Structure 1
Amino acid sequence: MFIFARMLFSILLTIGIATLLASQTNSVAEYELQIADRLYGFEIARLATDHERLLDFVYPELFTLIPREILRDKMEGTNKVAVLVDRLEAFRLTRIGAPVEADGKTFLQVSYEYVRPATEGTPRFLRTTNDRTDLISRKILAIRTDNELQWYFLEIQHGQEELLSSIIPRAVFR
């Protein structure tokens, strides 16, 4: 009887884990198209140096740490020459991490890459084989609240985890 109960427990545990993994995979697949669409718009706004539009894609809670106007002014000060790109040659998500659910929000670590028309001054290693385009790879955090269908983004540089922990749960950084 003990062996039968143990086998039954093992089978149920396996089914439970498989169900959990399948539901997690479905969630990521469901999010993939939404995130790709928003990220494309985010990158177009970044490359066209449309700072006001770019900030519409940024996780709104960031503005509790640094006001939107100050962030916009800082962006405008760093972009002396606009790239003025209105399209990307190619765009694809390369990896979406497992969702982290916390505080009524979903957090996903996203890696992606895109090919854009080449710009003057781009380092040679970024150039694709035809020399007319640049291949760019990036990582970003995608965030969505449970009551909103819109994804927002936050780029996290190494060493910013402590500062951002007031708006991003520590579990996201693991």
Structure 2
Amino acid sequence: MRTLVFASIMLATTGAAQGINQVTLKYDDGSGVSGELIAFENDVFRIQASVGLIAIPAQDVSCIGSACPEETVLEVPSAPVRLTALDGAFSVSGNLIDFVDNEYVLATDIGEVRIDATLATCDGDGCVVPQPPLSRDVTLTNGATTIEGKLVRMENGAYIVNVDQLGEIRVDASIFDCDGDACP
């Protein structure tokens, strides 16, 4: 199943890349948009994205992909990697931009590609070793009161815990002791 998902990602990525002008325009906050570069005139990108034809000023973004105008290319530190599906059926190469939420984010000739680290092996100097997720299980205690569940988040001085058959509950963190790997 994991290989099927990786294969789907690769097919979707390579399918989108059939146009040699495939690029990703990346904003400073990490968000971006991918599509086919139609034109670059007067410092404005015109790309055909999934939402239609859009125009984006060049000063707002960096460009990833072989079709990018040279002066707009995202400066990526040399961190080349090759990600290969667990069964070896598919692979993709590029420079590692980021590793976030257990996903490799690569700058490739076809734009930005994101691959779940659990679906691939990584080869190259830029590889990051994925960390196993921490258990979210916690036990909150206050005297004789015990609450067991999965810590969802901390919010305004309260633990938000998902408790079986109750759903999410809010507990004042100042009056409960927290035990478990997910405790702050």
Regarding TM over 0.5, the answer is no
Higher CA-based Rg: 2
Instruction: State the TM-score, normalized to the length of structure 2.
Output: 0.24
Larger helix proportion of the pair: 1
Larger strand proportion of the pair: 2
Instruction: State the TM-score, normalized to the length of structure 1.
Output: 0.25
